[in-house]
Structure 1
Amino acid sequence: MADDTDKPMTSQAEIDAAFAAAAAAPIPDLDDGTDDAAAAAPAERILNQDEIDSLLGFDVNTDAVQDKSGVRAIINSTLVSYERLPMLEIVFDRLVRLMTTSLRNFTSDNVEVSLDNITSIRFGDYLNSIPLPAILAVFHAEQLDNYGLFTVDSNLIYSIVDVLLGGRRGSSAMRIEGRPYTTIERTLVQRMIEVILQDMVQAFEPLAPVTFQLDRLETNPRFAAIARPANAAILVKLRVDMEDRGGRTELLLPYATLEPIRKLLLQQFMGEKFGRDSIWESHLATELWSTTIDIDAILDEQTMPLNKIMNMQVGETLLLNASPESKIELRCRGVPLLRGRMGRAGTSVAVRVEEAIERTDASRAL
């Protein structure tokens, strides 16, 4: 038997001729019912662009502040930490009711205010998503020592101008592109925002006294930067309808603004009066004012050894380090309250109160 190593090797010319013959061979027809394994194999499916965008979470047709899906949602899930504040939702519901009444009186028209949603968003993302042209009102929360932002879109601006200046009903507001807002339009919008800020004061009053003052009006979002772009904020979207006219206004409150009253906002809602009962409060106040307490008048205090106290006999005299002009301290259950001077009123020994004692943290702990 001959060894395989004795076979001649295939030359390069033979290899080239084999490839040329394979390329010139006719392509078999797969529709003639032949049972071919290659014909039975399914074709590989390729994703189109819409499916790829949906998988990655990109959608150019949706609002930038809406919830993302796919890989984008996983990436951005840790960027905004949203803390549920139950009392804040009640405050905004109260604000909607107050705005409905105040804007009716302001415009002398049938106004309906509705709350669309309350979301958490980064401040930088919100500035990039504001539809222009718009008017941005920066206001200052005095007790909270921080700022907030009101955004009024162009539809609501022109609707307010038409209503306050006697525009005809049934005609939609005409929007003029490329024209800056006039002084009249800015003044009318400023008056409306001042009315809304007064409603916000009343909405927060049952929870905490907060005064909101309008700081300035801006038309460029770059000049309305009241927080860092990465800071989280609460975004409240409101819809204002005046029969056949209306628009949107958005309220943005950074979490830093709400930090001083965060513990109050974390409370659970207990009723229409924010957990307060005026009848019970008045009854408790009446009972407290009529409560009787014992007041101790302290003439002097001394520190003595225990053996000396145990060896005291009847008839011994204790010398007090006090004179008729010394001040007497009045205490209630060990808590210092008042100071005065001892004297006589008729046949009774009396103390005339001269000053109140400022309570310290130690006395409050008692």
Structure 2
Amino acid sequence: MSSDFRPAIDDAPLPQKSGLKAVIESDIISHERLPMFEVVCERMVRTFATSMRNLTSDAIDVHLEDVTSTRFGEFMNRLSDPAILGVFRVREWENYGVVTVDSGLIYAVVDALLGGRRGNGAPRSEGRAPTTIETGLISKMVQIALTDFAASFEAIEPITIEIDRVETSPRFAAIARPSNIAAVATFRVDMEGRGGRFSIVLPYATIEPVRDKLLQRFMGEKLGRDRIWELHMASELLQTEIIMDVVLGEQHMRLRDVMNLQIGETIGVNRGPDDALEVHCSGVPLGRAFIGQRTNNIAVKIMTDISKGFAK
């Protein structure tokens, strides 16, 4: 009696990735949060809602749905079809970003701008590519969004954003390698029963020049600086009284000779009446001056710029 035992295929252990391949192909994104980027996006919600109301004359609600980090290739692969992608360039950073608009928001904005009825719900997507007219109308909205984003970013650092091109296929909007990490801010726009989402995608290579500022946890109107105290300290410093010394001369002497000085003795210094004297403050040389007399008082005339320090 023979028994032929073969293990089931389902029971066979799956090969596990290890080493560098496991790190590269890992689905888990572990990257530092950017608190100030979230603050910028929150500011943009208010300004963009106002801009969209002026554009469409509809009641607009804008919400920040999520700020996250993901691989650039994975995000682009998740885009629904059709979609419009605006590739923009940040002049100061010399790098690019992408704005993606989903089909729901495309048809809602086009319907609103062309006089569609309100409250009919989001138009159904036909699965076709946007027309030239639709692309032109959405390009106007993308420009407004980027202008408001640049204005919101001004609290971190002034930037200038320029639209490079508008694409309808993710393949032509590739501005980074698929494995590169990107910061993604997703916004929800509701327009009286219709609407959709758009996202701003910034690869980490793009925001590298301001990464340290985006890592800050707190920000007032001036990145954590208290303007009231700053002005108060500046005004008080300008009113601070200091003592300045005019050094008539210096003479090196032994302690024994100093202790043997008598009343009436003269200590010679190597200074003439027309020689410039050194002006000190707490032992720190500030500049040079000439000694003279003014209204029966001894006076000195500053001959060098104190703000530039003392140069011999």
Mark yes or no: TM-score above 0.5: yes
> Could you say which residue in structure 2 is the equivalent of 1:149?
98
Aligned to 2:19: none
Corresponding residue to 1:181 among 113, 131, 140:
131
Equivalent of 2:189, from 207, 231, 240? 240
Residues 282 and 218 (structure 1 numbering): CA distance in 2 closer, same or farther, change over 3 Å?
same
Counterpart for residue 118 of structure 1? 67
Deviations, residues 129-185 of structure 1 (Å, cap 9, x unaligned): 222322211223334443221111222122222222322224443645444530x33
Of 302, 308, 311, the match for 1:357? 308
2:274, 2:290 within 8 Å by CA — same for their partners in 1? no
Deviations 1:235-264 (A, max 9, x none): 111111101221110111222233333333
Q: 2 CA distance for matches of 1:133 and 1:203?
A: 29
**CA positional deviation for 1:345:** 8.0
Contact 1:139 1:148 in 2 (8 A): yes
* Contact kept in structure 1, 2:60 and 2:190, CA below 8 Å: yes
Residue type of the partner of 1:82? H
Whether 1:76 aligns to 2:4 is: no
The answer for the alignment partner of 2:269 in structure 1 is: 318
1: distance between equivalents of 2:201 and 2:279? 52
TM-score if structure 2 supplies the norm length?
Answer: 0.72
Q: Secondary structure at the match of 1:349?
A: strand
Secondary structure at the counterpart of residue 83 of structure 1? coil
Shift of the alpha carbon at 1:99? 1.8
- The superposition leaves residues 205-257 of structure 1 with CA deviations (integer Å, 9 ceiling, x where unpaired) of 33333333333322232332222222211111111110122111011122223
Check the 8 A contact 2:279/2:289 in 1, yes or no: no
Q: Residue 268 of structure 1: which of 207, 214, 217 is its match? A: 217
Q: Is the 8 A contact 2:220 2:226 kept in 1?
A: no
- Which digits, 9 at most, give the CA deviation of each residue in 1:4-38, with x for residues without a partner? xxxxxxxxxxxxxx99xxxxxxxxxxxxxxxxxxx
Letter in 2 for 1:248: R
**2 CA distance for matches of 1:140 and 1:298?**
60
Residue correspondences, number: 290
Give 2:149's aligned amino acid: M
Partner of 1:60: none
SS of match in other structure, 1:238: strand
SS at match of 1:234: strand
Q: Secondary structure at the match of 1:198?
A: helix
Q: 1:297 to 1:240 in 2, by over 3 A?
A: farther
Select which of 69, 82, 96 maps to 1:133: 82
1:47-86 mapped onto 2 (5 Å cutoff): 76=26, 80-86=29-35
Q: Which has the higher contact order (CA 8 A, sep 6+)?
A: 2
Q: Following the alignment from structure 2 to structure 1, what is the Cα–Cα distance between the partners of residues 279 and 25? A: 65
- After superposition, residues 278-293 of structure 1 pair within 5 angstroms as 278-293=227-242
Once the two structures are aligned, what percentage of the paired residues are identical? Answer: 45
Aligned match of 1:223: 172
- Structure 2's unaligned 5+ residue stretches are 3-7, 16-21
1: CA distance, partners of 2:100 / 2:137: 14
Q: Please, what is the CA RMSD of the aligned residues?
A: 4.2
Q: Could you say which structure has the larger radius of gyration?
A: 1
State the SS of the aligned residue for 1:280: helix
- Give me the whole-angstrom Cα distance separating, in 2, the residues matched to 1:319 and 1:155: 89
Structure 1 position 121, deviation (Å): 0.6
Q: Aligned AA for 1:283?
A: H
Q: TM-score, normalised by structure 1?
A: 0.63
